[in-house]
């Protein structure tokens, strides 16, 4: 290891004790939006008659998920908490994030009374039908 790299590594490892910071929490905060994407991967599809949203929400229970529609914006949110465990060693690492996650999608012409949601195998699937007037109209040209 080069001298410069060793100096940086030593400094970086001392940062938490110097400033009472947890460097993992520090970077999780800085890259919060990136963290949301990693923990809420999704597909959003618009079809002629409906929208379909599929979100990965592994380990999230259906009663922890909130879905709302306001001003043609569909919002899905959930809160993931890490369980507290006793007797762990100091060097225990966590790769599963905790925190609040929110995703919003524009669903123009949504028929709110017919929206359905299903949670199966860690995938949340939401189907948002469109009002008849919001569906594309095909117009024939007359001679």
Greatest Cα-to-Cα distance within the chain, rounded to the nearest angstrom:
82
Question: Comparing C-alpha atoms, which of 135, 115, 118 is closest to residue 73?
Answer: 115
Beta-carbon count within 10 A of 57 CB = 21
Q: Which among 16, 44, 11 is positioned nearest to 128, based on CA atoms?
A: 44
| Pair 22, 50 in one domain | no
Per-residue model confidence as pLDDT tens digits over 48-99: 999 999 998 887 888 889 999 999 999 999 877 766 676 666 666 666 666 7
Residue 142 included in any domain = no
pLDDT surpassing 90 at residue 123:
yes
Number of domains in the chain: 2
Whether residue 143 is contained in a domain is answered as no
Structural domain contains residue 13: yes
Which is more confidently placed, 118 or 25? 118
Domain housing 12: 1-30
Q: What pLDDT score does 108 carry?
A: 92
Q: Report how far apart, in Å, the C-alpha atoms of 70 and of each of 51, 62, 75, 107 are.
A: 15, 21, 8, 10
Residue 128 scores a pLDDT above 90: yes
Question: What CATH number is associated with residue 106?
Answer: 2.60.40.790
pLDDT tens digits along 96-115? 666 778 889 999 999 999 99
pLDDT band at 17 (very low <50, low <70, confident <90, very high): low
> Is the pLDDT confidence value at 12 over 50?
yes
Mean pLDDT of 19-26: 52
């Amino acid at each position: 290891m080069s001298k410069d790299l060793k100096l940086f590594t030593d400094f970086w490892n001392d940062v938490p004790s110097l400033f009472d910071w947890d460097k993992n929490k520090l970077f999780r905060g800085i890259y919060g939006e990136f963290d949301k994407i990693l923990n809420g991967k999704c597909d959003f599809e618009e079809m002629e008659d409906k929208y379909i949203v599929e979100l990965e929400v592994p380990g999230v229970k259906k009663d922890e998920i909130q879905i709302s529609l306001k001003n043609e914006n569909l919002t899905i949110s959930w809160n993931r908490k890490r369980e507290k465990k006793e007797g762990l060693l100091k060097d225990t690492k966590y790769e599963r994030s905790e925190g609040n996650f929110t995703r919003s999608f524009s669903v123009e012409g949504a028929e709110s009374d017919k929206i359905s949601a299903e949670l199966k195998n860690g995938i949340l699937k939401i189907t948002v039908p469109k009002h008849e007037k919001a569906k594309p109209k095909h117009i024939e040209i007359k001679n």
